[in-house]
Structure 1
Amino acid sequence: MPLSPLDIHNKEFSRAFRGYDEDEVDDFLERVIQDYEALIRQNKELEAQIEALNERLRHFENLEESLSKAILVAQETAEEVKANARKEAQLIIKEAEKNADRIVAEALNRSRKIAQEIEDVQRNAAIFRARFRSLLQAQLEMLDSADWEWFDRETKDLTSVESNL
C-alpha cells in the first residue's frame, strides 16, 4: 500500500545509539522513493491521457465548428434554392399566363375569322338563291310567253307536213 502524506508526516523513527536507526530510515526512504516514482509515473501517464483527451476535445470542437458552419451553409443554400425555385415558379407562371393569353387571343381571332367566313358564305348563298330564283322566274316567264305558243303551232304544222309526205 502506498504511503500517504500523513504516513510520512507521522512516521517516528526509533532512536539508536547515535540517532535514528539507519536501516529503518533507509527502508522508509526506499519506500518513499518507490511510491514517489510510482506517483510521478502515474502523474505523467495521467498528463499524457489529459493531453490526448484535450487533443480529442480540440478535434471534436473543430469538428463541431465545421459541422456548425456546414449546417449554416446548408441552410443558406436551402434558402437560396427555395428563393430560386420561387422565382422560377413565378417565371413559369408568368410565361404560362402569357401563353394562355396568346392562345386565347389566337382562338378569338380564329373564331372571328370563322364567323366572318360564315357570314360571307351565308350572304353569298342568299345572293345565289336570289339570282337563281330570278333566273328560274325568267325561264318560267319565257316558257309562259306567247313565243312558245307560236313555236308549238309551227312545230305542229311541220309535224303534219311531214306526216303528209
Structure 2
Amino acid sequence: MKFTPLAIKKQQFRKSFRGYNVEEVRVYLEMLASEYENLLQENKELKEKIAMLETEVSTYKQIERNLHLAVTQAQETATKTLENAKKQAELIIQEAELKAKETIDRAKLELAKIENEVQFLKLEKERILKELKNFLSSELEKLNLVEPATKQETKEKIEEKIKLDDIIKNLDQ
C-alpha cells in the first residue's frame, strides 16, 4: 500500500469498545500526514536539486573532456611543430654542408687548375731559358771565332758575356 498525505488523513479505523480515542487518533494522523507531506515536498525538492546538480556535473564533465581534448591537441601540435622544426633544421644543415662541399670541390678544382698553370709556366720558363742560353752560347762562339782586332774589343766581349750571364741568372730567379 502506498501512503499519501490524503490517504493518511482519510484513514478510518473500526470502533471498538474501549478502543482508542478517535479524536486523538485523528489529530495524530493529521500531524503524521502533515509531516509526511513535508517529507514528500522536501524529497521532491531534493530530487529536483539532484537533477540540477547532475546536469551541472554533466556540463562540467563535458567541459573537462573538451579541456582534456584541447590540451592533448596542443601537446600533439607542439610535438609536431618541434619535430618539423628539427627536420627543417636538419635539412638546412644538410643543405649548408652540401653547399660547403660543393664550394670546397670547386676551390680544389680551381687550385689544381692554378697549380697546373704554374707548372706549365715553370716548364715554359725553363724551355725559354734553355733556348736563350743556347742562342747566347752560339752567339758567343761566333764572336770567339772572329779574331779580335784588339785587346780592347776582347775585353768588351768578355764584359758582354758577363752581362749575358747575369741576365740569365736573373731570369732563373
Compute the TM-score of the two structures, normalised by the length of structure 2.
0.61
Residue 16 (str. 1) matches residue 30 (str. 2): no
- CA distance, structure 2, for counterparts of residue 146 and residue 139 of structure 1: 9
Pair 1:45-2:44 in alignment? no
Higher relative contact order at CA 8 Å, sep ≥6: structure 1 or structure 2?
2
Question: Residue 150 of structure 2 corresponds to which residue in structure 1?
Answer: 148
Return the alpha-carbon distance in structure 1 between the equivalents of residues 93 and 148 of structure 2: 86
Deviation at 1:28, TM superposition (A): 1.7
Q: Structure 2: which amino acid aligns with 1:147?
A: A
Q: Which runs of 5 or more residues in structure 1 are unaligned? A: 1-12, 152-165
Equivalent residue in structure 1 for 2:135, among 131, 155, 164: 131
Match runs of 1:89-100 below 5 Å? 89-100=93-104
Write the letter of the residue equivalent to 2:150: W
Show the counterpart of 1:31: 35
Which deviations, in whole Å up to 9, do the C-alpha atoms of 1:30-83 show, x marking residues without a partner? 222223322322332232222112101101101212322333343334434433
**Aligned partner of 2:126: which letter?**
Q
Equivalent residue, structure 2, for 1:68: 72
Q: Mark the runs of 5 or more structure 2 residues left unpaired by the alignment.
A: 1-12, 14-18, 154-173
- What TM-score do you get using the length of structure 1 for normalisation? 0.63
**Identical-pair percentage:** 13
- Count of aligned pairs: 135
